[in-house]
Amino acid sequence: MKSPSRAGANPREIRLALVLLILSTLSVGISGTFVRLSETGPTATAFWRMALATGVMWLMWRFDRRRGTGLALPSTREDYALLIISGLLFGAEIGIWHVSLLMTTVTNATLLSNASPLVVAFGGWLLLGERLTSTFLIGMAVALAGCAVLVGQSFTLSLEHVLGDGLAAFAAVLFGLYILCIARLRRRLSTSLIMTWTCAFGALGLLPVPFLMGEIFWPATLAGWAIVAALALVCQAAGQSLLTSALAHLPASFSSIAFLLVPINAAWFAWAVLGEPVRPLQAVGAAIVIAGVYLARRGNR
C-alpha cells in the first residue's frame, strides 16, 4: 500500500519536496561544526537550539494563521500526544548525540547516529503503510555502506568508547522515531504548528539537564550567542522545518535515507570553516551515498 501522504501529491509538489529535503540536509549538516564552536555545554547548546527556535516558529505559525494557511489545529488526543512526544524525542536525540561527541570520537558518533533509516524503513512499512521495494532496500543498503566508507576510515572499536558509541546509536533510534511521528502529523497539521510544539517541548525536556550535569549554561560572549542563534535559526528552524515540509509529499523511509547526505555536507562545511581535510576515500564514500539515495528514490516511485 502506498503512503497516504503521497497519494494526492502531483509531480510538481514531489519535485519541490525533494528540493526542500536536500536543502534540509544542507542546513542540518553544519550543526556539528556549530556545536564544536559553542561556548556552552553539549546539552545546554541543545537547549538553546530548541528554545530560541521556539519563538521563531511561533511567529511563523502566527504569520501562517494571518495568511489563512495552517488553519488546522490539533483536534484529537493522538495529535496532542504525537506533538509532545515528537518534541521530547528530538530534544532527547539532540542532547544524547551532543553528549556522545564527548564520550567517543566524532567519526564513531557520526556513523552510528546515521543508522536511523533502518528504524524509519521498518516503522514506515509497519505504521504508515509505506511500500518497501527491492530497489529501495538495495538503495538503502548502498547509502548506508557509502556512509560507512565516508567516515569509516577513522572508525575505531574500543572499550573506552563503548558508552559513547551506544549513546550515538540510541540517538539514531530516537531520530528515527521522531521522523515517524512528524510524518504522521504532517498529514493533518502545518509545518509551523508542528515545529512550534516540538521545539517548545524539546526545550522543556532539555532545560534541567545542563544543571544536573554541571555544564556551562549561558554563552559568555556575543560570539557564543551568535553560535547558538545560528544553530536555532539555520539548523533547527530552517533545517527541521524543511524536513517537516518535505514529509507532506515524500515517504518517511526515503526522507531518512536522504538524510545520509548530512555527513557529506558536514564534511565540506568542516573543511571550509575548520580546515579539516577531505580525503579521497571520503569522496568515494560520498559518491556511494549519493548513488544509494538515487536508487532509493527510484524504488519509491
Task: State whether residue 171 is helix, strand or coil.
Answer: helix
What grid cell was written down for 235? 539548523
In a domain, 208, yes or no: yes
The closest of 244, 22, 257 to 116, measured between CA atoms, is 257
In a domain, 5, yes or no: no
In a domain, 146, yes or no: yes
Name residue, grid cell 496532542.
80
Distance CA 269, CA 29 (A): 8
Identify whether the C-beta of residue 243 lies closer than 8 Å to the C-beta of residue 178: no
Which residues in 245-277 are b (16+ Cβ under 10 Å) and which e?
bbbbbbbbbbbbbbbbbbbbbbbbbbeeeeeee
In a domain, 109, yes or no: yes
Distance CA 270, CA 277 (A): 8
| Residue-level pLDDT, tens digit, the chain, 301 residues | 344 444 455 778 788 888 888 888 888 777 777 887 889 998 999 999 999 999 999 999 988 888 876 667 888 899 999 999 999 999 999 899 888 877 776 666 666 777 788 888 888 887 777 788 888 889 888 988 887 777 665 555 556 667 877 888 898 889 889 989 998 898 788 899 999 999 999 999 999 999 999 999 999 999 999 999 999 999 899 988 998 888 888 888 888 888 788 777 767 766 776 666 667 777 788 888 889 888 888 877 6
Burial of 155 (0-12, 13-18, 19+ CB in 10 A): middle
State residue 5's pLDDT score: 43
Identify whether the C-beta of residue 252 lies closer than 8 Å to the C-beta of residue 124: yes
**CA geometry: angle at 47 spanning 46 and 53, to 5°?**
95
Distance CA 5, CA 78 (A): 17
The tally of domains found in the chain comes to 1
Identify whether the C-beta of residue 255 lies closer than 8 Å to the C-beta of residue 124: no
The per-type count for the chain, helices as H runs and strands as E runs, is 16, 0
Give the domain range for residue 15: 10-300
- DSSP annotation of 234: I
In a domain, 235, yes or no: yes
In a domain, 2, yes or no: no
Name residue, grid cell 568508547.
161
The closest of 214, 165, 196 to 44, measured between CA atoms, is 214
Distance CA 71, CA 190 (A): 8
Distance CA 13, CA 74 (A): 24
In a domain, 4, yes or no: no
